[in-house]
Structure 1
């Protein structure tokens, strides 16, 4: 896998049935190592190791319903009260973060209404919030407990 614009971490990779798998500390299992999963695992470790989020507040690849469609969120961090706090949409490094990426997470926002939203492809990262139907971009990701 290619280097990302995210801090490295000690990951575990193994080969199963001719495919690479990476250990997901949130789901507590090995998952297929795709380029998007590579980004997701790096971002999870960034949020835990650099921003102080406890693993117990993470939900990874969980489902939601939007206009009768079933969708999956990449990373959802809940507040200590159990409400959606930070929703992250991950793309593979070769997939540009585009208007379509923002539209996708915007659709999820209608259902979940998290405090913060983020998109990343491992190379470019954006964090924003929606307040009074205005998009506010943030220079950094929120730290846990603030």
Structure 2
């Protein structure tokens, strides 16, 4: 397992039929252990432990229609009102983050309208805040705390 640019977390693994599986705390099931899944599971732990994003507001690998084509996003964090707070695109560590990666998440966000974006390969993390009015994204050094509405 490659060391990623995240704090150290503990994960559950199992082996079956010559394959290794890692447990996903959001989907509550074991998934085939791939380099991209290794990154995705670190991002989930990062959100839960470092950013205190509520587990019940996190969704993983769901279908979304983009220009009439069915695509799958990696991770979404919702707000209490059901709008999307954050959209995440995960790549395997050996995949270089390029403009194409940002174009991919931007296409998904045309449908999802997330306020924040994160692109990561586990080594390099990029955080952006959407500026819908000027049709651009602003790079940040970290993600904001989860938005808790005032009572």
Cα offset, 1:120, TM superposition: 0.2
Distance in 2, matches of 1:73 and 1:142, equals 20
- 2:82 alignment counterpart: 82
Distance in 1, matches of 2:17 and 2:63, equals 27
Cα offset, 1:145, TM superposition: 2.7
Gaps of 5+ in 1: none
- 1:109 alignment counterpart: 109
Give structure 1 regions of 4+ aligned residues with deviation exceeding 2 angstroms.
none
Cα offset, 1:16, TM superposition: 1.5
Gaps of 5+ in 2: none
Distance in 2, matches of 1:120 and 1:97, equals 7
State the SS of the aligned residue for 1:64.
Answer: strand
Cα offset, 1:134, TM superposition: 2.4
Structural mapping, 1:55-134, within 5 Å: 55-131=55-131, 132=133, 133-134=135-136
Across the two proteins, how many residue pairs are aligned to each other? 146
Using the size of structure 1 for normalisation, the TM-score is 0.97
Using the size of structure 2 for normalisation, the TM-score is 0.94
1:135 is aligned to 2:134: no
State the SS of the aligned residue for 1:40.
Answer: helix
